[in-house]
Amino acid sequence: MDGFKRRILDWLNERLGGEGIEEFLRHKRVPLHEHTFWYYFGGMALFLFVIQVLTGILLLMYYRPTASGAFESVQFIMTQVKFGWLIRSIHSWSANLMILVVFIHMFSVFFMKAYRRPRELTWVSGMLIFFIVLGFGFSGYLLPWNTLAFFATKVGTDMAGFVPFIGKWIMIFLRGGDQVTGATLTRFFGFHVAVLPGLATLLLAFHLLLVQRLGMSVPPGVEKRIKEGLEPERSIPFFPNFLLRDIMGWYAALGVLGALAAIFPWELGTKANPFGSAPAGIHPEWYFLFMYQTLKYLPSKVFFIDGELLGLMLFGAAGALWVIIPFLDYKAGGFGRRTRFFTGLGIFALGYIIVMSLLAIV
């Protein structure tokens, strides 16, 4: 058997050039230290993304992206199609878990200063993927065409209209008209199943390529202790040691997803009525709650600026700052005031998101 495997590998190596994959698998190592745990979240996000692609393809078999048929088609999936409830519930739960895992991955990378030279582009591409993930959430949320989704989309696209100069165009582009209608649903469907997956795949490939090229980052604190001889430099092979641990995590995640889908099947709600009132207690998905709560607190006018325009500008500026943070925190390898300031900024951002989200729930 081993000889047969060897022959296949040789055959492949001859055609693919060198011993690329074998070499890669043999040499890639993962640093082992007190923060190694956080390395698993990137792989976990990737795993959940794969789950999304697979269950998404299955949902496509029955889903119809029209105002008159969308709600009914999801209802059909949930009630008539064998295991339809399972597939849709896993898609919804996995989407939410993926966003949670991506948040954890982002903040762990942030606090471990893994974005420092030479990994700036890994961070930037990761942030772009993060925005795409939020876009997936926002566009996918509308697809069942229920009341909550309808008003969430109305508010979300209305906010885009506040962007100076081109806001109105963006809003019309997103909605496919002046109002949220079936045209919006068709567009969001296109974004959700074609545009965003394409972009996500390209960016993911780039992101993963950089991770492979540069290896895993060791936090500055650990790096320093290793340099001072206070801690030995330890690592484990990626293949099979780290990958097997990854797979254990993925296997557990599958179990959690199945359990969540079975115990808490995702609700469908009521069909959207464009000419009905927004229901009381309406709120966006949890990952937009901190922005939603901020908008609630902002008065209609702050000096001469509209409250929501101010909110939009603040979040836009904060998001842009977050993307370019490796270039601002360029002394992240040390322990000086500059880099401590950015750590503080991260703690503030995390605290703000958590507190505002909690305030929105209670």
Looking at the Cβ atoms of 275 and 303, the one nearer to another protein is 275
Cα torsion 15, 16, 18, 22: sign: negative
Looking at the Cβ atoms of 154 and 207, the one nearer to another protein is 154
Site for another protein in 86-105 (CB under 8 A): none
**Binding residues for another protein, total number by CB under 8 A:** 32
Q: Which of 159, 222, 291, 332 binds another protein (CB under 8 A)?
A: 159
- Reported in sequence order, the residue ranges of the chain that DSSP labels E, i.e. its strands, are 29-32, 234-237, 301-302, 305-306
178 binds another protein (CB under 8 A): yes
- Reported in sequence order, the residue ranges of 161-242 that DSSP labels E, i.e. its strands, are 234-237
Least distance from another protein to the Cβ atom of residue 173, Å: 6
Which of the 8 DSSP states describes residue 233?
-
Please tell me the distance from the alpha carbon of residue 137 to that of residue 195, in angstroms, as a whole number.
Answer: 14
158 binds another protein (CB under 8 A): yes
> Which window, 60-68, 81-89, 116-124, 149-157, contacts another protein (CB under 8 A)?
149-157
Please tell me the distance from the alpha carbon of residue 88 to that of residue 55, in angstroms, as a whole number.
Answer: 7
Strands 234-237 and 29-32: antiparallel
Closest residue by Cα to residue 186 from 250, 124, 139: 139
154 binds another protein (CB under 8 A): yes
Which of the 8 DSSP states describes residue 338?
H
Which of the 8 DSSP states describes residue 302?
E
176 binds another protein (CB under 8 A): yes
Please tell me the distance from the alpha carbon of residue 203 to that of residue 110, in angstroms, as a whole number.
Answer: 19
Least distance from another protein to the Cβ atom of residue 215, Å: 38
Q: Which of 11, 131, 169, 341 binds another protein (CB under 8 A)?
A: 169
281 binds another protein (CB under 8 A): yes
288 binds another protein (CB under 8 A): no
Site string for another protein, 225-264 (x = CB under 8 A): ----------------------------------------
> Which window, 50-58, 225-233, 280-288, 318-326, contacts another protein (CB under 8 A)?
280-288
Least distance from another protein to the Cβ atom of residue 278, Å: 4
> Which window, 26-34, 126-134, 300-308, 313-321, contacts another protein (CB under 8 A)?
300-308
Q: For residue 273, with 0-12 CB atoms within 10 Å meaning exposed, 13-18 middle and 19 or more buried, which class applies?
A: exposed
For the beta carbon of residue 264, count every other beta carbon within 10 angstroms: 11
Looking at the Cβ atoms of 67 and 90, the one nearer to another protein is 67
Q: Which of 230, 280, 361, 362 binds another protein (CB under 8 A)?
A: 280
177 binds another protein (CB under 8 A): yes
213 binds another protein (CB under 8 A): no
179 binds another protein (CB under 8 A): yes
Listing DSSP states for 17-39 in one string gives -TTHHHHHHHH-EEEESTTGGGG
Q: Exposed e or buried b for every residue in 311-338, given b needs 16+ CB within 10 A?
A: bbeeeeeeeeebbebbeebeebeeeeee
138 binds another protein (CB under 8 A): no
Q: Exposed e or buried b for every residue in 229-244, given b needs 16+ CB within 10 A?
A: eeeeeebeebbeebee
> Which window, 22-30, 38-46, 242-250, 297-305, contacts another protein (CB under 8 A)?
297-305
Cα torsion 72, 75, 81, 85: sign: positive
Least distance from another protein to the Cβ atom of residue 306, Å: 6
Least distance from another protein to the Cβ atom of residue 130, Å: 24
Which of the 8 DSSP states describes residue 252?
H
> Tokens 């700052």 sit at which residue?
321
> Which window, 33-41, 201-209, 246-254, 275-283, contacts another protein (CB under 8 A)?
275-283
Residues engaged in binding another protein (CB under 8 A): 151, 154-155, 158-159, 169, 172-173, 176-179, 183, 274-282, 292, 295-296, 298-301, 306-308
